Amino acid sequence: MNPYLDIAPEVQRALSEGMPVVALESTIISHGMPYPKNVETALLVEQTIRENGAVPATIAVIGGRLKAGLSREEIEYLGKTGRGVAKASRRDLPALVARGADGATTVATTMIIAHMAGIRIFATGGIGGVHRGAETTMDISADLEELANTPVMVVCAGAKAILDLGLTLEYLETKGVPVIGYGTGELPAFYTRESGYSVDYRVDSPAELADVYRAQRALGYRGGMLVTNPIPAEYAMDKTVIDAAIEQALRESVEQGVKGKEVTPFLLARVVELTGGDSLESNIQLVLNNARLAAKTAAELAR
C-alpha cells in the first residue's frame, strides 16, 4: 500500500470483497462547474453509480493525502473552494504531497491513484488530448501518456470538443491505446454524438467491454483502454452552435493570453456562457451516462 494513499472505508470494503468500484475525478468539481452545481452533480454521479450496482470512489488530494473515496464534506469543500484548489496532473503530485496541499485530480492523476488503490474502471466527462495548434505550441494533455502507461479503463464521451480530435486519435494509436466506441463506430465529440472520425472497435454491451479489458490485462499490456460513450441523443447539442461557441472561445483565449493548465477550464466556462448554459446541462448528462456504463461494466468485471 502506498504510504500516501487513503482509501475510504466503503471503498476498501468493496475492493476487499471483490465488489465493483468506479473511480471519479475531482477537477470537474473544482474547475468544471460553478458552485453549488458542481457539488450537486458530484453527489448525483455517485448516486447514479450506486443505483447501477457499484461503489463510487471520487478521487482527490487533500492535505497532501491521496484520497480514493471522498466524504460528502470533502466534496463540499472542493466545490466551495473551486479554483482555489490546484488542478493536479502527474507532475504536480510530488509537490502537493510534500507540502501537505490540496489538489483536484485530472484524468491522468485519477488514473494513477485509482490504480494504486486497485480500482480498474474510471468514469469521466471527456479526456484531454492534443490541443488545436499543438504543432507549434506542443500542448498535449498528460491524459494521453497516462492512458499509454496505466492499466485503467476510462469511460468518457470522447475527447473534449475544444481539442484537435483527429490528432488526439493519432496520438493514442501511436501509443497503442485501444479506442472503443460503445454502440458506435465513430468517435463521439463530447457535446455531440459524431465527429467524423472512426474508433478502433465497436462494442454493444458492458459484458463485452469487460471481456476486452480482461483480455488486455491477460496479454500483459502496460497501458489502459479508452471507452467512448456518446452523449444521449436528447441532450446532444447542435454541431453548428457548439462549433461556433468553441471557435469564439478559442479566439478569446489567444487574445487574453490564456496558457497551460488554465486553457481547458477557460474554454469550457466560456462555451457555457456562449451557449446560454446549454453546454453545462449537456456536460452533466453525458457524465451521468458515462457513470451508468462504467458501473455496469465494473459489475460485469466483478462477476
Least confident of 70-84, 225-239, 250-264, 286-300: 250-264
CATH number of the domain where residue 128 is located: 3.40.1790.10
- Residue 243 pLDDT exceeds 80: yes
pLDDT tens figures, 23-65: 999 999 998 888 999 999 999 999 999 999 999 999 999 999 9
Cα separation values, 138 from 142, 145, 166, 173, 265, Å: 12, 14, 15, 18, 18
8-state DSSP, 189: B
CA gap 109, 225 in Å, rounded: 15
Contact 230, 182 (CB under 8 A): yes
Question: How many structural domains is the chain composed of?
Answer: 1
Average pLDDT over residues 146-169: 93
Between CA 155 and CA 295 the distance in angstroms is 10
Task: Look up residue 130 and give its three cell numbers.
Answer: 492534443
Residue 84 is predicted with a pLDDT of: 95
**pLDDT tens by residue, 196-211:** 899 999 999 999 999 9
Q: Which residues pair with 87 in a beta bridge?
A: 104
Clarify whether 281 is annotated catalytic.
Answer: no
Any catalytic annotation for residue 160?
yes
Task: Give me the catalytic one of 25, 74, 76, 300.
Answer: 25
Q: Tens digit of pLDDT for each residue in 91-125?
A: 999 999 999 999 999 999 999 999 999 999 999 99
pLDDT of residue 32: 84
* Residue, of 242 and 129, whose pLDDT is higher: 129
Active-site entry in 67, 87, 160, 296: 160
User: pTM, whole model, 2 decimals?
Assistant: 0.92
Are 162 and 128 within 8 A, CB to CB?
no
Q: What are phi and psi of 197, to 5 degrees?
A: -115, 140
Q: Which domain holds residue 50?
A: 5-302
Confidence of residue 137 (pLDDT cuts 50, 70, 90): confident
